[in-house]
A and B are shown apart, each in its own frame.
Chain A
Amino acid sequence: MVRGTGRRPAPAPARRARGPRVPAVLLVPAVLGLAFLVLPLAGLLLRAPWGSLPERLQGPQILEALRLSVLTATLATAVSLLLGVPLAWLLARVPFPGRRLVRALVTLPLVLPPVVGGVALLLVLGRRGLIGQWLYAAFGISLPFTTAGVVVAEAFVAMPFLVISVEGALRAADPRFEEAAATLGASRWTAFRRITLPLIAPGVAAGAVLCWARALGEFGATITFAGNFPGRTQTMPLAVYLALETDPDTATVLSLVLLAVSILILVSLRDRWVNST
């Protein structure tokens, strides 16, 4: 048990958040926390085979995985935009029974282990899945082991990032502009297109970038649902995982590429959008 014996409460001025003196009890764990988060990444940089980096980056498998990653993450973001923006609008603007539950369900993939998402997708959309068997019988479509399957897996995991971001922007935007447009004769769709979307554009953009970055890093759902085949379903994170089995140096290089892309995205995101929303 921790008791406050012999310690007096800090004097009033120190209670201010921006006091000049940082108490050690906060500073020490803060620095530990920072080190914990940053050191592994620094280790990656230190251990990287910088000398052979250029030729390793040109390996056909790496370029293939990178191309596929960028393609699928972009498609997954497009899918998320098409479905996620209307969903966010529904959650933010339309009161309906069970809205809180729906909101919780939408954010579920954020906390769900991606592998679980992959298993769920497999059981529903797989060749013998609930919907998948029907798709397969009717159209001969089977999503596992296809690039489309990768997009589905990535969109499943990444779309909540977009929805949350857009919903937040919608809640911050003043609905009276839309109402004013409606009183002037605009249909709801016109009001959404001409008033709401421009208002929340920064939020949508921020959400799309986050969504893209998350899709790019997706591993668990992809390897579970879409499998792993070079050029078709093997994205960068899968390539990293398999490279680690035989060739750790290549795995390090691949990780560096993903790290660089992620940092680039987050830094640009912070400067452009996070502060302004």
Chain B
Amino acid sequence: MRGSTGRGARRAIRAALLAVVGAVLATVAGCGGTQGSPGAGGASPSGGGATGTVTVFAAASLTESFQKIAQDFQAAHPGVQVKFNFGASSALAQQIVQGAPADVFAAASAATMKQVTDAQAAAGAPRVFARNTLQIAVPKGNPGKVASLADLAKPGLKVALCAPQVPCGAAAGKALEAAGVKVTPATLEQDVKATLTKVRLGEVDAALVYRTDVKAAGGAVEGIDFPEAAKAVNDYPIVVLAKAPNAPAAKAFVDYVLSDRARAVLAEAGFQTP
């Protein structure tokens, strides 16, 4: 190493190291900050005075309707920002049990909500705000000529189901059992959106997904009703979490999801509302 370049390089390295250490410390401090500041939304529990960020963990099937509801909610509660983590309810439930800093959990089935309540991670009893039923989704034009649930067992027909570990898979299993249909799926996808994607791409001839997801896909896929869907209705419970960093805003959001305006949005998305 030569004198001046060596010194310059050393200074650059030192600066870079300090920057890295600074960034690490800032991140650590930041993490501590979010977890250690309960009630960032102020003291008013009425919801009207809620402020700050509310973090909502919600089932993937709620993506479109919750985004719309959040927009309305934020318009009604200036100063509150809703952040979402959408995914398979079962995965979200595990993240919450493991201590993810979430305020609200909206699950796609009572069974996944039970994982959270059993772990004493919920504040109060969950409330059901929507119900969803299954539909057969087929690619545009229905190349596999699927007309009923029994058709899914046709040899050569490629079917995608949700994995039995996630709520849409559990519901699909229930519906198939009720119909006495034995399906050998080509794949068991990790959530309902991934399952629907395989239909959109035309990689499978049919999939069992929620009616709301077929609707949200617009004209990209076709939905076929089947009577056995009535045997596999999924309840969607919502709850404020025990360790919610922003409990007032969380409560306000849950109240809003149970309100008539949110109901209308959910109904329009294809949910039944209790």
- Whether A associates with B in a native complex is yes
**Chain A interface (Cβ < 8 Å from any Cβ of B):** 2, 4, 9-10, 15, 25-26, 28-29, 32, 122-123, 126-128, 142, 144-145, 223, 227-230, 233-234, 241-246, 248
Closest residue of B by beta carbon distance from A234: B188
Q: Identify which of A9, A128, A245 contacts B201 (C-beta below 8 A).
A: A128
What are 16 A-B interface contacts by the 8 Å CB criterion? A4-B11, A29-B20, A127-B202, A142-B203, A144-B187, A144-B203, A223-B194, A227-B186, A227-B187, A227-B198, A228-B188, A229-B187, A245-B94, A245-B163, A246-B94, A248-B94
Check A29–B21 contact: CB distance below 8 A. Answer: yes
Q: Identify which of B165, B188, B202 contacts A246 (C-beta below 8 A).
A: B165
Check B188–A122 contact: CB distance below 8 A. Answer: no
Q: Which residues of chain B come closer than 8 Å to A227, judged between CB atoms?
A: 160, 186-189, 198
Q: Which residues of chain A come closer than 8 Å to B239, judged between CB atoms?
A: none
The verdict on B10 contacting chain A, using a C-beta distance below 8 Å, is yes
Check A128–B190 contact: CB distance below 8 A. Answer: no
State the CA gap A10–B165 with chains docked (Å).
60
Can you list, as one digit per residue, whether each of B80-107 has a CB less than 8 Å from chain A (1) or not (0)? 0000000010110010001000000000
State the CA gap A248–B198 with chains docked (Å).
27
Nearest CB of B to A19, in Å = 13
Check A145–B186 contact: CB distance below 8 A. Answer: yes
Interface residues of B in 126-165 (CB under 8 A from A): 158, 160, 163, 165
Q: Which residues of chain A come closer than 8 Å to B202, judged between CB atoms?
A: 126-128
Provided the pairs A15-B1, A227-B198, A233-B187 are in contact, do residues A245 and B165 lie with their beta carbons within 8 angstroms? Answer: yes
Interface size on B, residues (CB 8 A): 34
State the CA gap A145–B158 with chains docked (Å).
9
Q: Which residues of chain A come closer than 8 Å to B158, judged between CB atoms?
A: 127, 142, 145
Provided the pairs A126-B201, A144-B203 are in contact, do residues A242 and B190 lie with their beta carbons within 8 angstroms? Answer: yes
**Chain B interface (Cβ < 8 Å from any Cβ of A):** 1, 6-7, 10-11, 14-15, 17-18, 20-21, 24, 88, 90-91, 94, 98, 158, 160, 163, 165-166, 185-190, 194, 198, 201-204
Check A245–B166 contact: CB distance below 8 A. Answer: yes
State the CA gap A230–B18 with chains docked (Å).
48
Q: Which residues of chain B come closer than 8 Å to A244, judged between CB atoms?
A: 91, 94
State the CA gap A207–B90 with chains docked (Å).
38
Q: Which residues of chain B come closer than 8 Å to A10, judged between CB atoms?
A: 10
State the CA gap A30–B91 with chains docked (Å).
34
Q: Which residues of chain A come closer than 8 Å to B17, judged between CB atoms?
A: 25-26, 29
Closest residue of B by beta carbon distance from A248: B94
Nearest CB of A to B122, in Å = 18
State the CA gap A142–B205 with chains docked (Å).
13
State the CA gap A227–B189 with chains docked (Å).
7
Q: Which residues of chain A come closer than 8 Å to B165, judged between CB atoms?
A: 242-243, 245-246
State the CA gap A234–B14 with chains docked (Å).
47
Q: Which residues of chain A come closer than 8 Å to B21, judged between CB atoms?
A: 28-29, 32
Q: Which residues of chain A come closer than 8 Å to B10, judged between CB atoms?
A: 9-10
Nearest CB of B to A277, in Å = 27
State the CA gap A228–B190 with chains docked (Å).
8
State the CA gap A241–B194 with chains docked (Å).
14
Nearest CB of A to B190, in Å = 6
Nearest CB of B to A109, in Å = 21
Nearest CB of B to A55, in Å = 20
